[in-house]
Amino acid sequence: MPRDDTASAPRSARTEKSGRRIESLLAVAREVFAEKGFERATTLEIAQRLGVSEATVFTYFGSKRELCLEVIRRWYDQISGEVERELPQINGLRAQLAFVVRKHLVNLMGEGAGICALVLSEGRTADAAFGGVIADLKRRYIAPFMHALAAAREAGELREGVPLRLLRDMVFGSMEHVLWDYVVSGKKPDIEETASQLTDLLWSAFVPADASLHALSQFRAEVGHALRRLDAAGPSSPSSPSSSLTPRKASS
């Protein structure tokens, strides 16, 4: 049976137009949610900014929360993809920790306090269904870092006796305090300086408890070995400055 190209062409055009409309709607919704937060944002304002009726919004999304969730999902998809590509290319746990800390602060503060507050607040939503979806998005985002922690522990580079989930909570929990302070005060900290300071503080909890003592012991052993080599070589024999100043006895 011949294909009805005349029927498929309009369908394709409608699908393309619908896709563009959804992208535009999500872009405007992201702006409004970032500016006003979830509670104060309205689907009516989103529709008005887009130049469509409010009914058009509900053609694509069943509720304001569903629309907000899709905005957050798109945001997480973008940053998760970046971490999944970039983190495995970094060698060494400390460098990986530094990358994760800086990347997270840039992701949350890079677009202003609005999107930061939206992501943090909606991450604590009481709605079980939507809260579960956001929890899944977070797990994907954090997964590459958890894989790095597991590999470091297996290699003996990570402190024993502390569950990986606690190390994870320490990293992202400390950053959440920084981010909430930014949201509440409106004062954006220096991201590079803050990331560096946090990395230094966190790293002290990551390394094995005896790592510093081992490094010091190794340094002392190397210094002792160098001193013994000097002693074995014997004293150098340049003429003493004092001997050159001693007057010679006159010959008879």
CATH number, domain containing residue 131: 1.10.357.10
d(CA 234, CA 231): 5
Report whether 79 contacts 107 (CB < 8 A).
Answer: yes
Do 199 and 101 touch, CB atoms closer than 8 A? yes
Give pLDDT, residue 10: 61
pLDDT of 77 reads: 96
Residue in 111, 109, 101 with CA at minimum distance from that of residue 181: 109
Q: How far apart are CA 212 and CA 217, in angstroms?
A: 9
Residue 217 lies in a domain: no
Residue 119: inside a domain: yes
In a domain, 238, yes or no: no
Cα 82 from Cα 99, distance rounded (Å): 12
- Is 139 part of any domain? yes
- Residues of the domain holding 134: 73-209
Residues of the chain where predicted confidence (pLDDT) is lower than 70: 1-14, 125-126, 209-222, 224-225, 234-252
Whether 138 is covered by a domain: the verdict is: yes
Amino acid at 192: E
Report how far residue 173's alpha carbon sits from residue 203's, in angstroms, rounded to the nearest whole number.
Answer: 15
Residue located via tokens 């490094």: 215
Q: Which two tokens stand for residue 229?
A: 């080599």
| Residue 65 placed within a domain | no
**Number of domains the chain contains:** 1
Residue 125 lies in a domain: yes
Using a cut of 0.85, tell me whether the model's pTM lies above it.
no
In a domain, 157, yes or no: yes
